């Protein structure tokens, strides 16, 4: 684990890191270059990486447990089959695939799944769901997608992680600054979907929860 305390890790430090989360962090080559210096995002590496997200917040441990033990209803099965049929189709445009997934997810989770505007020109996350409490809005889900595997120059997982870090680092709200901000990360390439967890602990820490 890292030696710095949560009190020592201020919004100023987060903001400096978030400014490095530029749009071109997406290409694996650029991401690797940053990680060799001062890691922006920890994901079980390097050796000094923070504790797993499942220890930071129980929601991620519950998710993994439910993946193998929860009872699945017929309605759940029907809904997932509907998603599989939709996602195995070939789409001419990435936004067409995104809209199909957003419409399905909004209906299934009974949440508005939209895009998330990010600081910087033409920067946004493909998928986002939030929860408002008073003046505060917390991210529940942030996602990125590619129309097909290998399409485009960026990795949807790295992009989604960067979007999470950027939206926290650019938020001047003191409640956000001092919170863990647990959120699920969704990354999609064609018909393939992955789920990860993200927290703002001593650093931005992300971890895939599915394989």
Domain ranges of the chain: 20-208
Range of lowest pLDDT (16-25, 95-104, 172-181, 198-207): 16-25
Query: What is d(CA 133, CA 169) in angstroms, rounded to the nearest whole number?
Result: 20
Of 49, 44, 57, nearest to 2 (Cα)?
49
DSSP labels for the chain? --SS-TTTS-HHHHHHHHHH--GGG-SHHHHHHHHHHS-SEESS-STT----HHHH-HHHHHHHHHHHHS---HHHHHHHHHHHHHHTS--SSHHHHHHHHHHHHHHHHTS--EEEE-SSTT-EEEEEEEEEETTEEEEEEEEEEESSTT-SSS-HHHHHHHHHHHHHHT---HHHHTS---EEEEEEETTEEEEEEEEESSSEEEEE---
In this prediction, residues 74-78 reach a mean pLDDT of: 95
In this prediction, residues 23-50 reach a mean pLDDT of: 60
Query: What is d(CA 34, CA 134) in angstroms, rounded to the nearest whole number?
Result: 37
Range of lowest pLDDT (57-61, 96-100, 167-171): 167-171
pTM over 0.85: no
pLDDT higher at 32 or 77: 77
CA distances from 4 to 10, 37, 140, 205 (A): 11, 18, 27, 15
Q: For a pLDDT cut of 70, what percent of the chain falls above it?
A: 77
> How high is the pLDDT of residue 30?
58
Query: What is d(CA 52, CA 44) in angstroms, rounded to the nearest whole number?
Result: 7
State pLDDT tens for residues 101-160.
999 999 999 999 999 998 777 788 999 999 988 888 899 999 999 999 888 778 899 889
> How high is the pLDDT of residue 121?
74
State pLDDT tens for residues 80-89.
999 999 999 9
Q: Tell me the two tokens of residue 162.
A: 């960067």
> How high is the pLDDT of residue 170?
75
> How high is the pLDDT of residue 46?
67
> How high is the pLDDT of residue 4?
44
Q: Tell me the two tokens of residue 105.
A: 């997810």
Q: Is the pLDDT of residue 39 over 80?
A: no
State pLDDT tens for residues 157-198.
988 988 898 888 777 777 777 788 999 999 999 999 999 999
Residue owning tokens 């590496």: 45
């Amino acid at each position: 684990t890292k030696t710095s305390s949560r009190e020592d890790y201020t919004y100023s430090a987060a903001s400096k890191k978030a400014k490095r989360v530029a749009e071109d962090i997406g290409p694996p080559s650029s991401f690797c270059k940053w990680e060799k210096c001062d890691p922006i995002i920890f994901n079980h590496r390097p050796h000094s990486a923070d504790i797993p997200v499942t220890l930071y917040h129980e929601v991620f441990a519950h998710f993994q447990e439910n993946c193998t033990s929860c009872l699945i209803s017929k309605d759940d099965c029907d809904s997932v089959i509907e998603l599989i049929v939709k996602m195995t189709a070939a789409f001419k445009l990435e936004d067409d695939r995104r809209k199909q997934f957003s419409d399905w997810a909004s209906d299934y989770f009974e949440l508005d799944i939209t895009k998330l505007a990010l600081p910087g020109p033409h920067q946004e996350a493909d998928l986002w769901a939030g929860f408002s409490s008073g003046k505060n809005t917390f991210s529940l889900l942030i996602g990125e997608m590619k129309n097909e595997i290998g399409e485009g120059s960026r990795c949807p997982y790295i992009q989604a992680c960067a979007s999470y870090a950027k939206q926290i680092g650019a938020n001047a709200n003191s409640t956000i600054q001092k919170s863990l901000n647990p959120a699920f990360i969704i990354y999609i390439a064609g018909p393939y979907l992955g789920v990860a967890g993200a927290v703002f602990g001593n650093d931005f820490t992300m971890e895939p929860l599915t394989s």
